[in-house]
Amino acid sequence: MQQPSWMAEAWRELGQSEIPGAAHNPRIVAMFDELGHHGNGDETAWCAAFVGACLERAGFKSTRSLLARSYLDWGMPVDSPMPGAIVVLKRGSDPTLGHVGFLVGTTASHVFILGGNQSNAVTVAAFDRGLVLGFRQPPSTPDVSTGDHKFEIALNHVLAMEGGWTDDPHDPGGPTNKGITLAVYARERSIEVTTQNLAELKSALRAIPNTLVRSIYEGRYWQPARCPALRPSLALMHFDAGVNHGVGTAARILQEALGVEIDGEIGPITLGAARIAEPRQALARYAAIRRQRYRALPHFWRFGRGWLRRVDATLAAAIRLVPSISDLASTEENPHMTGPTDAPTTKPYATSEIKGWWQSMTIWGTLLTAITTVLPLMGVVLGFSITPELAEQIGQDIVLVIQAIGGLIGTLMALFGGARATTLFQARSRRTGT
């Protein structure tokens, strides 16, 4: 059976853990940002942020809340959940607190959950079935329409920049209305453009409804460009660039502006750099790179002035979204916080992610699923009995062994690294006399 798309996103985060001390894991922080909860670090309870981010990365609308129990009113209830279903658990005696994650497997007494903030990390863990408040199933089809206010601001700006109908023979994009080219419109409707239907398609594009315009911009640009994970100011600049340059090119511009590796894939490193970057400087660099790219295009002679005016207008609009120092100082605590009640911090992020192999093996989830669901059946075939409870205990023991081995290797690597650094420092001191 093929796993749900949101589970593929969840497995990619397996092993991500909180960073002790002042730093925060940028991959965890990105989960908060993608749901619109800026200013939270990895010390804030983040199980609901993990679930929401994984759902929205797969194109499904989440509750966008940091309250685990918010998922009790989300999706559809199921009595016989399949792997991938959302599990909501109670936590202590407080009726407002809870835990949420994705179902991996079950036994008669426990549920196995792939979740965030489980021992301060993304892990597969066993929970007593008596803690389960409900199982919920996401809708069968993705829903990229999130009603995000940040998207509304960016979309209104892009529509103002794009204007209405154009059919300039010098424009490589061809016929365009509200920024939607004929090629994009035809792909959205699964129609091949031919000489026979060209006039009809042009007429339909001129009358394109606003609902379809919004859907195209959100599904083909806003979401693929990872704009929900960016702060409003940078999201506006990046969205405008994605529409005008293309999503792939915009990703490379963003990475160049942030000073990270340019590979066209916006992942946790890029998102982490975006979060710690000084907003005005990042926007200025982004705008400068866009201007440089425009000037290198062969059609700059005809459209150059308009392109540069667009960059200037976008930069000005984005800077207006950068909060002032007083705004940052008055940030209030998020009312949906289920973890520590400290005010949001401004702690720096770790400059690099150090993750051992024992933290990122997706085999953990597969192994636990096999042990708790498949192994008992194999036992019958092979002629010996393995109860679900025994299978569960085997799975837990294996995880403990893997964690112990991983921890030992991590400790040895740290000791080796420290010894090597000391040796290099001593050698340098002998060479330089310092």
Q: What is the pLDDT, as a whole number, of residue 412?
A: 52
Provide the number of structural domains found in the chain: 3
Q: For the ranges 70-79, 123-132, 230-239, 354-363, which has the lowest average pLDDT?
A: 354-363
Asked whether residue 267 carries a pLDDT value surpassing 60, the answer given is yes
- Which has the higher per-residue pLDDT, 183 or 417? 183
Across the range 197-201, mean pLDDT stands at: 82
Q: What is the pLDDT, as a whole number, of residue 43?
A: 84
- Which has the higher per-residue pLDDT, 399 or 286? 286
Q: What is the pLDDT, as a whole number, of residue 195?
A: 81
Is there a domain that residue 366 lies in? Answer: yes
Measured CA to CA, the distance from residue 402 to residue 197 in angstroms comes to: 61
Measured CA to CA, the distance from residue 67 to residue 10 in angstroms comes to: 18
Q: What is the CA radius of gyration of the chain?
A: 25
How many alpha carbons fall within 13 Å on the CB side of residue 139?
13
Highest average pLDDT, of 132-146, 276-290, 348-362, comes from 276-290
Shared-domain flag, residues 106 and 159: no
Name which of 177, 169, 184, 252 is nearest 220 in CA terms. 184
Q: What is the pLDDT, as a whole number, of residue 427?
A: 46
Q: What is the pLDDT, as a whole number, of residue 200?
A: 84
Q: What is the pLDDT, as a whole number, of residue 30?
A: 79
Across the range 396-415, mean pLDDT stands at: 48
pTM above 0.75, yes or no: no
- Which has the higher per-residue pLDDT, 210 or 423? 210
Highest average pLDDT, of 29-43, 162-176, 277-291, comes from 277-291
**Site of tokens 């606003």:** 210
- What CATH code is carried by the domain that includes residue 300? 1.20.141.10
Asked whether residue 332 carries a pLDDT value surpassing 60, the answer given is no
How many alpha carbons fall within 13 Å on the CB side of residue 151?
22
Shared-domain flag, residues 37 and 166: no
Shared-domain flag, residues 101 and 197: no
Asked whether residue 88 carries a pLDDT value surpassing 80, the answer given is yes
Is there a domain that residue 198 lies in? Answer: yes
Say what percent of the chain tops pLDDT 90.
29
Confidence of residue 411 (pLDDT cuts 50, 70, 90): very low
Across the range 331-348, mean pLDDT stands at: 30
Shared-domain flag, residues 22 and 51: yes
Shared-domain flag, residues 170 and 317: yes
The Cβ of residue 40 has, within 10 Å, a number of other Cβ atoms equal to: 24
Shared-domain flag, residues 286 and 315: yes
Q: What is the pLDDT, as a whole number, of residue 79?
A: 86
Domain holding 236, by residue range, is 149-324
Is there a domain that residue 347 lies in? Answer: no
